[in-house]
Amino acid sequence: MKLYRTIFFLLIFIITGGSWVSIAFKPTPLKFEIPKGWPQPKYDFKNNPLTKEGFELGRKLFYDGRLSRDGNFSCAACHQQFGAFATYDHNLSHGYNNSFTFRNAPGLANLAWQKEYMWDGGINHLDLQPLAPITAPNEMGETIENVLNKLKADAEYKKLFKSAFGDELINTQRLSKALSQFLVMLVSSNSKYDKVMRGETSFILPEQLGYDIFKKKCTSCHTEPLFTDLSYRNTGLPIDDILKDYGRMKITGNKEDSLKFKVPSLRNVAMTFPYGHDGRFFSLRSVFEHYRKEMVVGPTTDSLLRNKMPLSNYEIGQLTAFLYTLTDTTFLKDKRFSPPGAEIVPSFIHLH
């Protein structure tokens, strides 16, 4: 009898133990939450199903300086969480070998709803985005081949690729898919504005007045809920004679696209200064001065701004109050998006 019992328990033990082992080899699906009232995302999740392991791998890669030639420039060197994943307080970002980027690093949020990336929309798939900074001599200055070789030489990465994708193969596609898994999860939808929209709180008066003006003067381009309609427009920034950046025209080769740039999202705008595609505006105030005074109206300037944009000092104050409600502190402090190992709680202990 005793023997039977031991065998029985042993069997139970082996079965449960065995199933644990097999579970450990299966990546854990990660759910992508679409905030209430938002459109369907454009990212093709079918081709890159989100998993906890894929996301964690992407996070490690995002914070790993080895993706650059000299080890100094991780993605996060230019995309800093406390700056809403823009380069905090820099018009242009620093890159490999004392160089500068040609453009202002935009904040990274809600990327799953975009179809084209960069200020000129030159990149047509999020998975392709990392290849541009990795290979650009003024950003990470590395070759894809070298990056892959560095990762392949690291036993830890072999393990992580295996748990995310099933085997130890490390190639360009997996590198970029893992990074995309991290990037698409960067959803910012919990600002005061969002809470007001969800009926959880309400604006104070200046914010409400600012919102009313915003809906009249800004939403045709900075459309809710993403605060961009993702179109390319010329808002009258005269060309910088050193950078000579004609924006969208570089991609389409079409004169009508000269000086057009992607409408940036205004989410977390209080944190993403300086502003504009080359970071020429150091404050919101200077953006408003641009819209109402400094703008240069040219042949491709947007039809909505033919007569610039009249804004009184009062309106500017109220608009600013409203724009500050777009700061999402949950997002800026979300531990899931911080450097791996920065959490106080090891990731295998689940508290929430």
Partner 1 sequence: MKNKAYLLVTGCLLLVVLFGFDTKQQHKFTIHFNHKIGLKELKLMDEKYINDFGEGMIIAKFKYYISNIVLTGDGGKTAAIAASPWLIDEADSSSKSIHISSPFTNITSIQFQVGIDSIKNVSGVQTGSLDPLKGMFWTWNTGYIFAKLEGYSDTAKVPGHYFTYDIGGFKKGENAARKITLQLPVSRIANPASINIDADISKWFLSKYEILISRTPICHSPGALAMQIADNYSDMFSIGQFK
Site of interaction with partner 1 (CB under 8 A): 44, 47-48, 118, 122-128, 131-132, 135-136, 143-145, 148, 171-173, 176-177, 250-251, 253
Which of positions 295-314 make contact with ligand HEC (CB under 6 A)? 302, 304-305, 309
Cis-peptide, bond into residue 41, ω within 30° of zero: no
Q: Judged by CB under 6 A, does residue 95 bind ligand HEC? A: yes
Tell me if residue 262 falls in helix, strand or coil. Answer: strand
Asked if 284 is part of the footprint of ligand HEC (rule: CB under 6 A), the reply reads yes
Compute the least distance from the CB of residue 275 to partner 1, in Å: 22
Identity of residue 278: D
What is the phi-psi region of residue 311: left when phi exceeds 0, alpha when psi lies from -120 to 50, beta otherwise? beta
| Site stretch for ligand HEC (CB under 6 A), options 3-11, 36-44, 77-85, 190-198 | 77-85
Shorter beta-carbon distance to partner 1: residue 132 or 213: 132
Q: Whole-angstrom Cα distance, residue 87 to residue 106?
A: 8
Please report how close the Cβ of residue 293 comes to ligand HEC at its closest, in angstroms: 13
Q: Which is nearer to partner 1, 172 or 223 (CB)?
A: 172
**Count helices and strands in the chain by DSSP H and E runs:** 13, 4
Listing DSSP states for 86-102 in one string gives B-TT-SS-EEGGGEE-S
> x-or-dash pattern for ligand HEC, window 229-258, by CB under 6 A?
----x-x-x---------------------
Nearer residue to partner 1 within complex by CB, 44 or 343: 44
Strands 232-233 and 261-262, bridge-based pairing: antiparallel
Largest CA distance in the chain: 94
CB-based burial label for 119 (10 Å; 0-12, 13-18, 19+): buried
State the binding partner of 143 from partner 1, ligand HEC, none, CB within 5 to 8 A by kind: partner 1
Q: CA-based Rg of the chain, rounded to a whole angstrom? A: 23
Q: Would you tell me the crossing angle of helices 313-324 and 205-217 to the nearest 10 degrees?
A: 100
Contact of residue 302 among ligand HEC, partner 1, none (CB under 5-8 Å per partner type): ligand HEC
Rounded Cα–Cα distance for residues 179 and 281 (Å): 30
Residue 221 binds which of ligand HEC, partner 1, none (CB < 5-8 A, kind-dependent):
ligand HEC
Beta-carbon contacts of residue 232 (< 8 Å; ≥ 6 apart): 120, 121, 247, 248, 257, 260, 261, 262, 263
Residue 75 contacts ligand HEC per CB under 6 A: yes
DSSP secondary structure code for residue 263 in this structure = P
> Taking CB under 6 A as the rule, does residue 119 contact ligand HEC?
yes
Kindly tell me which residue out of 287, 295, 321, 326 binds ligand HEC, with binding defined by CB under 6 A. 287
By CB under 6 A, tell whether 220 contacts ligand HEC.
yes
Q: From the list ligand HEC, partner 1, none, pick the one residue 164 interacts with, judged by a Cβ distance below 5 to 8 Å according to partner type.
A: none
Phi-psi region of 37 (alpha: psi -120 to 50; beta: other; left: phi over 0): left
Question: By C-beta, is 56 or 139 nearer to ligand HEC?
Answer: 139
Binding site for ligand HEC (CB under 6 A): 62, 67, 73, 75, 77-79, 93, 95, 101, 103, 105-106, 108, 111, 117-119, 129-130, 133-134, 139-140, 179, 183, 217-218, 220-222, 233, 235, 237, 261, 263-264, 266, 269, 272, 275-277, 284, 287, 291, 302, 304-305, 309, 319
